[in-house]
Structure 1
Amino acid sequence: MKLKHCSMTLLFFISLTLFPYLIQSQTCQRTCGKQPIKYPFGTGPGCGDPRFQTHITCSQDQLTFSTHTGCYPVTSIDYTNQVLYITDPSMSTCSCTQPSKGFSLDWDAPFSFHDDNTFALLDCSTTSSPIYKTNPGNNSTATVPLCDTNGAAVCSLLFSCQAVSRLDTPVATCCVYTPVDLGPSFEMDLQKLQCTSYSGIYGFGGKNDDPGSWQYGVALKYKFNYNNEFPTNCENCERSNGACGYSGTYNSFVCNCPSGLNTTTDCFFAASWNHGLVLLPWQTGIDLCFVSSA
């Protein structure tokens, strides 16, 4: 006759052994729309790096970057060079010119501006804007722009675009800045600067004389940590087809696995567990039992 026995001792042993490795399940998507999602970014709470959580979100298959000035679609991510590319719907380009309030980063955002960025401030007041100053020499009232003189060609080419030419303002009201001019905090408040719009360019595509082919948007650099070292535990997690995440009061590392389990190591462990004893007592509330013969 076969008797069914419930072994609380075995249950206790397995709980003590596996509790540090298997924790409450949570799903982290590996993509947002067509955009692959890797560390340090995530698709929801508990996914990716917590420092990036408030700045990068995924909703309705669209990855979005947020600051105090607005929300901006993420067009692509260069994980090799750690660069995030975004677009600003209010930005002026060669094909469309519109008023804008500007663009700024949050002071605590783990991002900085890529050196390839070029910002052209458009339709700025040459008489009252703080980016222009009066030439003190010879009691002159002429104004001198505090702009990057090497960027004058960018302004001229932008004004050759039909959309920008509709501003009906002189090229002299265009002022080019680069991140090194604006400083690491970078606050582009167009109302304060008395400019009506701006263009952001992060690449010229080898066609420096063709503004219609330029890459418009903003390129942002990010770092993993102070030393910019990719976390070893996250590397092992992604190698096992998992997604890096965090959990608990102290945002401890977890590896979210395709099987639906979260582990503190990698998904190789979760796969072996998932193919062995399927029921997890602390998740299902079912006692672990075995069958023996008498």
Structure 2
Amino acid sequence: MKLMHSSTTLLFFITLMFLPRPISCQSCQKTCGNQLIKYPFGTGPGCGDPRFQKYVTCNQEKLTFTTHTGCYPITTIDYNNQVIYISDPTMSTCSCAQPSKGFGLDWDAPFTFHDDNVFALLDCSITSSPVYKPSGLYNGGNGTTVPLCDKDGAPICSFLYSCQAISTLNPPISTCCIYTPVDLGPSFEMDLQKLQCTSYSAFYNFDGHEDDPGSWKYGVALRYKFNVDNNYPSVCANCERSGGVCGYTGAYNSFVCDCPSGLTPQRTVTSGHIGTMVLVFSHHGKLGHG
């Protein structure tokens, strides 16, 4: 009997050793300030999907998007259409014109630019900016001309330069370029120093007033995907329906449900199809640019 009791006790402790280390029941919140937080985002380490954790963070009740070019406030998240909207305090708008370094995405970030984005490069050097000499940029030296300015974007430049703030930048309007590569080229970056432009403006919606730049929705719209197949993980959906918050833990980022009654860890590996998330979040590649 003593031997059986000892074996049972040993088995119990061995089982505990291999269970995922749970995250605190208070560590994952459903809101950050006045913004609702749902999968794949989280309010801290161990919350949401680990691929998104370093890009979208909640600090002092403020939701922030981070890339190698800076930190940007997230104005809203459209969970139905899987789009986040961010603002760049350094960009120029109809009410404020200022120098900027530009904007870029990390090459492996699980985000892509929304097709509605419009990037306007402002106060560019007509004589030396590569946007006016596209044959030497982004073409791999094969001599192919790549248009970098949208010829049909002249009206947008005219409206932008009608703003009192932006008109203080160097005229004429020809120094404005509606940047054609919506994905910002192969490095997903808009480096204004290399492009020899002073500032930029970005917007994603005319808000029904195409001729009134003061009413446009300024900022950057970014799409995201849950996984390669873009399927909402059913285990996470079940967790949220029960009032819980989806999270992860352990060396293999095993799924856990941070629910009101306590953590419910799951130890199941993904299928062989890379990027398919069942219970373990293990994909680290970029989605959408490929």
Structure 1 position 80, deviation (Å): 0.3
Question: Does residue 257 of the first structure (1) align with residue 259 of the second (2)?
Answer: yes
Distance 1:243 1:52, change over 3 A: same
Match of 2:231 in 1: 229
Matches within 5 A, 1:1-294: 24-26=22-24, 27-133=27-133, 146-180=148-182, 182-183=184-185, 185-259=187-261, 261-264=262-265
Structure 1 position 102, deviation (Å): 0.1
Q: CA RMSD in A?
A: 2.6
Q: Larger C-alpha radius of gyration, 1 or 2? A: 1
Instruction: After superposition, give the CA deviation of every residue in 1:74-94 in whole Å (9 maximum; x if it has no partner).
Output: 000000000000000001000
Q: Distance in 2 between matches of 1:173 and 1:200?
A: 16
Q: Distance in 2 between matches of 1:25 and 1:130?
A: 50
Instruction: After superposition, give the CA deviation of every residue in 1:161-189 in whole Å (9 maximum; x if it has no partner).
Output: 00001114210000002444734642100
Instruction: After superposition, give the CA deviation of every residue in 1:50-103 in whole Å (9 maximum; x if it has no partner).
Output: 000111110011000000000000000000000000000001000000000000
TM-score, with length taken from structure 2: 0.79
Where 1:131 maps in the other structure, the secondary structure is helix
Find runs of 4+ consecutive structure 1 residues off by over 6 angstroms. 18-22
Structure 1 position 134, deviation (Å): 9.0
Contact preservation (8 Å) 2:22, 2:265: no
Letter paired with 1:243: V
Structure 1 position 264, deviation (Å): 2.7
Q: Percent identity?
A: 69
Structure 1 position 152, deviation (Å): 1.2
Task: Give the gaps of 5 or more residues in structure 2.
Answer: 136-145, 267-290
Which structure is higher in strand share? Answer: 1
Contact preservation (8 Å) 1:115, 1:179: no
Match of 2:288 in 1: none
Distance 1:255 1:134, change over 3 A: closer
Q: Distance in 1 between matches of 2:88 and 2:216?
A: 15
Contact preservation (8 Å) 1:204, 1:213: yes
Contact preservation (8 Å) 2:87, 2:220: yes
Structure 1 position 258, deviation (Å): 2.5
Contact preservation (8 Å) 1:114, 1:179: no
Contact preservation (8 Å) 1:21, 1:263: no
Distance 1:43 1:118, change over 3 A: same
Q: Distance in 1 between matches of 2:23 and 2:69?
A: 35
Structure number with greater CO (CA < 8 Å, separation at least 6) is 1
Q: Distance in 1 between matches of 2:23 and 2:193?
A: 48
Q: Distance in 1 between matches of 2:192 and 2:217?
A: 22
Q: Distance in 2 between matches of 1:255 and 1:185?
A: 36
Contact preservation (8 Å) 2:33, 2:61: yes
Task: Give the gaps of 5 or more residues in structure 1.
Answer: 1-7, 136-143, 266-294
Q: Report how many aligned residue pairs link the two structures.
A: 247
